[in-house]
Every structure is written in C-alpha cells, then in structure tokens.
C-alpha cells in the first residue's frame, strides 16, 4: 500500500466534497490504486489543522461539518503555505500531494516550493495557470502538476487533450460552452425570460458567484479556454482572447445591489439579439473558441435543437478529428464532479510517481 501524505488548501464547496470523497473512497482507493491518502494538513483562509500522523476520518468529517455551518475550521492560525510545506518536509514526508482548491491569486510561490520538494500538485484553482505566460508556462505539461478540474468541471477534458497531444494528433481548434451559469442564463433567454430576470434567477439558485458580474463578464471562461490553448501548445496571453461581457461598462462600478437594480437596462438589447437569432432558427450560446492565433469568448448563434445548443460540450478539431471534431459533453458543473476531478488527479500523480 502506498501511503501518500496530502495537504489540502481550501475547504469551501470543492474542498469539502473532496475530503468527503477521500474518506468515502478508502476501500476503492486501496483496491484500485493500492493507495492510502492520509490528510496531514487542511487549511482555509485563516486557520489550519495539522497532524503529521494523518488527521483521522472522524476529525476530517467534523471539520467539513464545521465549515458547512460557517464555523471556524480550527483555532490554530495558518502559517504561510511555504512554511506548511517545510513543516511537512521536516517531518520526513516525501511524495506528498498538495491540493489547491482555493480561489485565490498568488499561489505560485507555494506551487513552486511544492515542486522543488518533489511533491505533486493538484489544482482546481485556475489562477496560476492563467497568469502571464512567462510565469505560468512552467506548470504546463509538468509531470507533477495536474489540473483536470480547471476546465469542464470534472469532465475529462484535460485528460483527453493530454491524450491527443501524447499520440501526436495536431490540435487546430478548441471550442466549447464552458460555463454552467451562462448556459443556464442562455437557456432562460430561449424561453423568453428577460436577461435581468435570468440573472436574478441564477443568483437566487446559487448558480452565480455572489457578484453575478464575475460570471457575466466572461473572465472565468476566458481563463478556461486560455488554459486549453496553452496546453495545446500555443503560448497565448489573456489579451489575445477577446471577451464579450454580458453587462455594459457603466454597470461595472456599482455595488451588487445597485447592479441587480440596474440590470433591466440590459434587457432591450438582449431581447433584440435573441429575436434576431430566433428569426434565423438559432439560439444564443456563450461559446469559447481558441486556436493558435488567439481566441474569442462570447455569444454565438447556434441552430436551435442542435446538439451543440443543448449540451455543455467541448470539442477538439485535430488532424485526425478534423471533419467531425472529437467532443466531450454532458453535465459538467458542481462541487461533486469538480472534487472527483481533483481526486482523479491525485491518483494520477501517485501512478506517475510510481514509474
Ligand atoms: N465550485 C465549482 O463547481 C467549481 C468548478 C470548477 C472549478 N472550481 C474552482 O475550484 C476552486 C474552489 O472552488 P470553491 O467553489 O470550493 O470555492 P470557495 O467555496 O470560495 O472556497 C474557497 C476556499 O479557499 C479558502 N482559502 C482562501 N484563501 C486561502 C489560502 N490562502 N489558503 C488556504 N485556503 C484558502 C477559503 O477559506 P475560507 O473558508 O476561510 O473563506 C475557502 O475555504 C476555485 O478556484 C474554483 O474556481 C470550482
């Protein structure tokens, strides 16, 4: 049995689901991967739990219950991430896996330190992969960095792209609907709902970030398609991907409440665009596209009733899949699937390190 220490940074929706899945999969992990993950550190933005012998499952489940109740994780203040890793290294831990399921900027020094120590890194946090290329490139195709859940919310998108690259199938273009939130809003527009109403409904259902402009601005989708393009071998910068925001610049500086009140000012133009698309038998979908020279992210008319209009999909146009691009589709959202993608990354890292 391989005993693998795990350090988990971030214990929000994805982190909680991941801890639960690690605990629930113990038997399966032992039989399928001959692996026992023992969580030595669990941290949120201000505190941490540390036990070099492994936090027992009861304590892990109690910790996620506390976070679900919005209580503090632990009374112990968190050291900076590099100090956490040093503590693990000083305790003799080798081949540990560090998991970044935060949504924060500035994790690069931690990732670099983990890699220097020979540790593996699994992340659902896109930020380090979507920064300036000069800084981000060292994480792409690094054998100890995995990031399946950064795109596709757990669908095996990154694994498929890695496979295409491994078998020398040249990638020409990648396209997809990469936001569950914007997919929901587009679906509501099809049904005749006003944009402001669709935004309010998505917010009420918890599908948007607390500030819906974070979804509507398209930046998160841009990060995803940038990651895919970079993996495909194109050294793109964020500025080479044009992004259509679904709100106007005048609404950018408002508070969230003010924005929700002002959102009906967006309705008339969107209604016109939905009607123009419908007149041609189309519906609007928020689509991301990237190729070697850059990409674009924004609303695109797609034939109503076509598979692409009705699926959360990603397609790869390659040398071998040229006329009929290789497609991955299906549900791809939510913390359970995202956490499963991270767990899959952790197993992949163990297998890789075994070779
Ligand atoms: N939710 C999804 O379906 C989904 C899908 C794909 C990818 N992702 C990505 O997965 C990541 C996590 O998403 P989420 O929904 O779980 O986010 P979340 O609910 O906002 O949780 C983020 C967690 O990170 C913690 N944190 C912040 N700064 C930290 C630091 N410096 N060190 C350690 N922990 C820190 C927060 O602590 P506090 O609890 O103290 O605030 C919180 O526990 C994000 O990058 C997101 O983009 C999410």
Q: Indicate the pTM of the whole model.
A: 0.94
Could you say which of 224, 296, 300, 312 is catalytic? 224
Q: State whether 17 and 130 are in the same domain.
A: yes
Would you say the C-alpha torsion 74, 97, 99, 344 has a positive or negative sign? negative
Cβ of 315 closer than 6 Å to ligand 1, yes or no, is no
In a domain, 163, yes or no: no
Give the pLDDT confidence of 177-229 residue by residue, as tens digits.
Answer: 999 899 999 999 999 999 999 999 999 988 888 899 999 999 999 999 999 99
**Plot region of 13 (φ>0 → left; ψ -120 to 50 → alpha; else → beta):** alpha
Closest CA to 5 of 101, 89, 108: 89
pLDDT digits (tens, 9 = 90+) for 279-318: 999 999 999 999 999 999 999 999 998 878 887 889 999 9
Are 222 and 288 in contact by the 8 Å Cβ rule? The answer is yes
The DSSP letter of residue 322 is: S
Among the listed residues 136, 149, 155, the one whose alpha carbon sits nearest the alpha carbon of residue 102 = 149
In whole angstroms, give the CA distance from residue 183 to residue 347: 31
Its domain, for residue 312, covers 171-330
User: Average pLDDT in the 311-329 region?
Assistant: 93
Query: Which residue puts its alpha carbon closest to atom 17 of ligand 1?
Result: 12
Give a yes or no: residue 12 inside a domain.
yes
11 CB near ligand 1 (under 6 Å): yes
CATH number of 113's domain: 3.40.50.720
Residue with tokens 């917010």: 203
Per-residue pLDDT at 333 exceeds 80:
no
Average pLDDT over residues 31-60: 96
Instruction: Tell me whether residue 127 is one of the annotated catalytic residues.
Output: no
**In terms of domains, do 202 and 115 share one?**
no
pLDDT at 225: 97
Indicate if ligand 1 lies below 6 Å from the C-beta of 338. yes
Is 141 found in the same domain as 211?
A: no
Mean pLDDT within 227-248: 97
Residues 107 and 182 in one domain: no
Per-residue model confidence (pLDDT) at position 355: 53
Residue 197, pLDDT score: 97
Cβ–ligand 1 contact at 229 (below 6 Å): no
- Is 332 a residue whose pLDDT tops 70? no
Q: Is 71 helix (H, G, I), strand (E, B) or coil?
A: coil
Residue 284 β-bridge partners: 301
> What CATH number has the domain bearing residue 322?
3.30.360.10
pLDDT digits (tens, 9 = 90+) for 71-112: 989 999 999 988 999 999 999 999 999 999 999 999 999 999
Q: Are residues 341 and 289 in the same domain?
A: no
Mean pLDDT of all residues in the chain? 94
Q: Please work out whether the CB of residue 248 comes within 6 Å of at least one atom of ligand 1.
A: no
**What is the Cα–Cα distance from 87 to 303, expressed in whole angstroms?**
56
DSSP secondary structure of 228-297:
HHHHHT----GGGEEE--SS-GGGTTS-HHHHHHHGGGGHHHHHHHHHHHHHTTEEEEEEEEEETTEEEE
- In tens, the pLDDT along 112-150 reads 999 999 999 999 999 999 999 999 999 998 999 999 999
Q: What is the position in ligand 1's atom list of the atom closest to the CA of 103?
A: 45
Give residue 132 CA to ligand 1 midpoint distance, Å.
Answer: 21
Same domain, 61 and 206: no
Q: Report the number of distinct structural domains present in the chain.
A: 2
The answer on pLDDT for 235 being more than 90 is yes
């Amino acid at each position: 049995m391989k005993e693998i220490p795990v350090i988990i940074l971030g214990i929000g929706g994805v982190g909680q689901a991941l801890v639960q899945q690690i605990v629930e999969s113990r038997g399966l992990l032992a039989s399928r991967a001959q692996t026992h993950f023992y969580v030595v550190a669990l941290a949120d933005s201000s505190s941490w739990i540390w036990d070099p012998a492994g936090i027992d499952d009861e304590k892990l489940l109690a910790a996620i219950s506390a976070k679900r109740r919005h209580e503090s994780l632990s009374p112990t203040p968190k050291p900076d991430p590099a100090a956490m890793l040093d503590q693990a290294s000083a305790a003799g831990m080798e081949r540990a896996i560090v998991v970044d399921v935060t949504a924060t900027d500035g994790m690069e020094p931690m990732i670099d330190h983990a890699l220097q120590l020979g540790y593996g890194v699994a992340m659902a946090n896109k930020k380090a992969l979507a920064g300036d290329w000069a800084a981000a490139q060292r994480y792409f195709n690094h054998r100890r960095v995995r990031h399946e859940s950064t795109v596709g919310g757990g669908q095996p998108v990154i694994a498929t792209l890695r496979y295409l690259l491994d078998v020398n199938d040249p990638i020409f273009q990648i396209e997809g609907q990469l936001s569950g939130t914007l997919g929901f809003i587009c679906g509501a527009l099809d049904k005749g709902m006003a944009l402001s109403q669709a935004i309010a409904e998505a917010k009420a259902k918890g599908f948007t970030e607390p500030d819906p402009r974070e979804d509507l601005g398209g930046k998160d989708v841009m990060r995803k398609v940038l990651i895919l393009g970079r993996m495909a071998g194109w050294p793109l910068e964020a500025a080479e991907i044009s992004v259509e925001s679904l709100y106007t610049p005048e609404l950018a500086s408002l508070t969230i409440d003010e924005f929700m009140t002002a959102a009906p000012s967006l309705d008339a133009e969107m209604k016109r665009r939905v009607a123009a698309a419908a007149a041609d038998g189309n519906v609007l979908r928020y689509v991301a596209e990237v190729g070697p020279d850059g990409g674009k992210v924004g609303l695109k008319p797609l034939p109503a009733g076509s598979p692409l209009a009705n699926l959360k999909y990603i397609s790869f146009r390659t040398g071998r899949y040229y006329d009929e691009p290789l497609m991955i589709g299906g549900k791809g959202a939510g913390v359970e699937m995202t956490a499963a993608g991270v767990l899959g990354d952790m197993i992949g890292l163990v297998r890789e390190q075994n070779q």
